[in-house]
Structures are given as structure tokens and as C-alpha cells.
A = this chain, B = another copy of it.
Amino acid sequence: MNQPRLLYLQSGGPTAVLNASAQGVIETARKLGISVYAARDGLAGLLEDRLVNTDGVSDHDIARLGFLPGGHFGVSRRMIGRFDKCPEDWLRMKAVLARHGIHYLLINGGNGSLGCAARLADFQRHTGHALHVIGVPKTIDNDLVGTDNSPGYGSAAKFLASTMLEVGMDMISMGRGRVFIMEAMGRHTGWLAAAPAAARIHGGQAPHIVLLPEVPFEQDKFLAAVDASLAAHGQCAISVAEGLVDASGRFVTEANASAVYGHEQLGGVGSWLAGLLKRERGLSAHVAQVDYLQRAAGHLVSATDAAQAYQMGQKGVEWLQAGRSGEMAGIRRLSDHPYRWEVAAFPLSDVGDLEKAFPAHFISADGYGVTQVFLDYLLPLMEGERMPPFRQGLPDYRRIEWPPV
């Protein structure tokens, strides 16, 4: 009997713990006697038969893999539609899978990628090639339905909250009159921009204002809140989501671009808010645009997040071997205090292509902060520190070479 073979795909934007899931997949497969191929650049590499073989790579390197930021096999936004929409894609996939004797597919991605996984669960019915498909979530956006949280979010939140806490300490030492704006990612949901609010749990003041995409921006109310913060605390630290919208649902940067700039907006919403504060209040705000740093910060990973990412990869392989298909390995929370969780199965068809909003009861009454319920949700996800090895003062992220198939 041939050795069973699994194909592992990373898809969508990377996180700081995406490769921890990859480590969980490969180490578990090795224990179970399953060969693991991985596609270069996600579905694109599968369709183009650009595969690598992880089997000959040393255990030591697979253990190192879990610390590396990014998606080490390469990711892409290439998706695959329903069979009736693009049969040629399905037949190309079938040819590649058959050529390499692959009957297990594990897709590690966000909502779009898991939507592909949901469709591909019907692979045998459409193509005749037996294929078990399991999804493992990843996204810093934390917007996947079903699972209590998505791997990647806890680490991004930990980085954002830690840096807001640190900047808050710096600001206090500089005295009155300081305004600081930190722009987090999040085009549609406030999961990331809300995270810095945790910086207040240790008695810190920052952030004084949190601006979420779920709360339409009102200029007068915002300016009054800044005034109030400066009056009460002498300072104002603001966490803002890149996707802040106005009452009409347009991104504020977009809606105001022509009126304010007369040309395409170049900076993000943080710079735009700084401009507003300058014009309307004469304030000089400092702006941090965190950008990729928040999802790549392998040096400050949440140990909880890394453990969950690993275990979801592990379960995915076990489930494939057990003959399961069409499921996502997600997190079910059992309790907040103490935090207890387990890996649980969610039907891929209930997850794919859907987006979980930041719940209304996580937002404070004035719309400019979060509730204790959100902090109870968030804090366990950031718990524990997982440092990478360091070499010459920098994280040791030496790349791993994967032999092509």
C-alpha cells in the first residue's frame, strides 16, 4: 500500500503564526506516516503543479518553521470557484492531485480560502478523484464565523496592545498636550483597532479613543471627545481602524479626498485624522501606521495563539486520516476564567466566504471604547509569550529550503 499523501496550502494574507499551523501539520503527519507536499503560493501553485516535498526536511528545520513570520510556502489570493463556473480549474487540479497520488487536502486560510475548501469538499463527486478536504483557519482580522477566534489574531492584538501601552508610557513622560494616533489594519471590522484598548488594564490611560469601522465617524463628536480627553488627561491617544467609514458607509479617507486634498489620498486614515486635528484644533498629532508590522511580529507572538495554530494543524491531519472531510478545525471556548478551549469541528459550508462582525456588545455605549465583555474575550488570546530564537541581536529567521517535487 502506498504511503498516503497530504497537500498543504497557505492562502491569503500571512499571520505571525501561520507557519506554526504548518509545523503542526507536518509534525503530526510524520507521526502518522503521512507524506506532506505543499503548494507554492497556495491555490496558484496547486493549479500550476508547483509543489514542494517536506518529507526530506529535517525535524530540526520543521521545528524552526513554527517561528517564522509570513507564509513560508508562499500565499496567493488565487481562489477557485464552483465546478460549474470553472470546470477547467477543477480538472487541472485533478490532474495534479492524481499525478502525485494526493487524496488529502488541507487548506490553511481565511474566509475566501475556506470558501474554496468548502467547494472542493465535493471534489470526488465532480471529478471522480477521491479527496478529503479539511480547512484550518488563519487571519489577523479574526472575522471567521464559527470558531471563537482565528489563529493570528491573538498575536496581532498582543503586538498592537503592547505597543499602545508602551507609547502611552512615553506620552505620559512628555507631559500635557500630546496627541497620538495609531492606525491598525481592518478594512471592514474593528477586531484589530479594538485590541489596543487592552493597554488600559494595567492602569494605563492610552488609548483614550477607539475608532471602529462599526461606528460611523462623526466629526463634531470626535473633536469633542479629543477636547475632553485633553482636558481630563492632558493627552489623547487614538486607535483607529484603516476602514473607518462615515454615516453614508464610505471610507472617510475616500469621502473626504476631493474636498480636502483635491487629489488622491495618499496616507491612511491616521494621517487624515491628524490633518483634521490640525485644521480644526491646531493640534500637531503624531501618527503611527503599523501596517505589516502587526501581522509579521514574530518576536512578540502570543503563546496561546501559537499553541492553537499548531493544534488546529494537528487536528486537521488527524481528521483527514480518520476519513473526515468538509470541516474546519476551529476553537470552541469553554470558559473565560480560567481560559479553557478545545479544537472543535465546524462545517466548511457554514464558514466559507462569510465575515464575522465585531459584536455590538463589545463596543462601549459612547462608541469610542470597548466593554469588559470584549476584554474578557480578548485577554486570554494574548496570554503567554513565545520568543523566537535570536542570533546576532535579531530573530533567527533563516529560511528553510523545500525541495521541489
Contacts of A290 on B, CB cut-off 8 Å?
Answer: 288, 293
Q: Is A395 an interface residue (CB 8 A)?
A: yes
In the complex, what residue of chain B is closest to A286 when comparing beta carbons? B291
A69 within 8 A of B: yes
A380 CB to nearest chain B CB (Å): 8
Contacts of A41 in B (CB 8 A): 175
Per a CB cutoff under 8 Å, which of B289, B302, B379, B397 touches A169? B397
In the complex, A353 has a CB within 8 A of chain B: no
Let me know if A90 is at the binding interface, CB within 8 A.
no
Q: List 28 A-B contacts (CB under 8 A).
A: A10-B173, A14-B170, A41-B175, A69-B166, A69-B170, A70-B170, A70-B173, A70-B174, A72-B169, A74-B173, A74-B174, A74-B175, A75-B175, A158-B394, A166-B296, A166-B298, A170-B295, A180-B291, A199-B394, A201-B394, A260-B263, A261-B261, A267-B268, A267-B287, A270-B289, A286-B292, A288-B292, A382-B394
Q: How far is the CA of A394 from the CA of B302 in the complex (A)?
A: 10
Q: Which of A129-137, A212-220, A272-280, A365-373 lies at the interface?
A: A272-280
Interface string of A153-190 (1 = CB under 8 A from B): 00000100111011101111111000010000000000
CA distance A166 to B172 in the complex (A): 29
Closest beta carbon of chain B to A381's beta carbon, Å: 8
Complex interface: chain B residues within 8 A of A293 (CB): 163, 166-167, 288, 290, 293
> Could you say how many copies of this chain the assembly holds?
2
Known pairs A16-B166, A288-B293 / 17 extra A-B pairs, C-beta < 8 Å: A68-B169, A69-B166, A71-B174, A72-B169, A75-B173, A158-B394, A166-B298, A167-B292, A167-B293, A202-B391, A261-B263, A262-B262, A264-B275, A266-B272, A267-B267, A288-B291, A304-B393
